Amino acid sequence: MIDSQVQKQPKAKTVAAPNNPTSKVAAMPATVTAHNGIRELAYELFESRGRAFGYEQQDWLRAEQEILQR
């Protein structure tokens, strides 16, 4: 009797969540690669100035502009 009740229950449907984080996984490597490129170029700019502090934001923005234009 219990078996017949279990069999009559509707099966659960699998529904994709609208904000599924796995849908964004494909975009992550490009973002990470760009971020790493910006970071490395900003550090190169820092070194080319003789490691003078106080220009971090300027270096980052310049590196970001150069990387994103490529």
> Number of folded domains in the chain?
1
pLDDT per residue as tens digits for the range 22-63: 545 455 678 888 999 999 999 999 999 999 999 999 999 999
pLDDT score for 31:
87
Q: Residue 17 domain-assigned?
A: no
What's the confidence (pLDDT) of residue 21? 54
Q: Is 67 part of any domain?
A: yes
Please report the pLDDT score of residue 5 as a whole number.
Answer: 52
pLDDT band at 4 (very low <50, low <70, confident <90, very high): low
The confidence band for 19, taking pLDDT boundaries of 50, 70 and 90, is low
| Domain carrying residue 53 | 26-70
The reply to whether 19 falls in a domain is no
In a domain, 38, yes or no: yes
CB atoms within 10 A of CB 11: 5
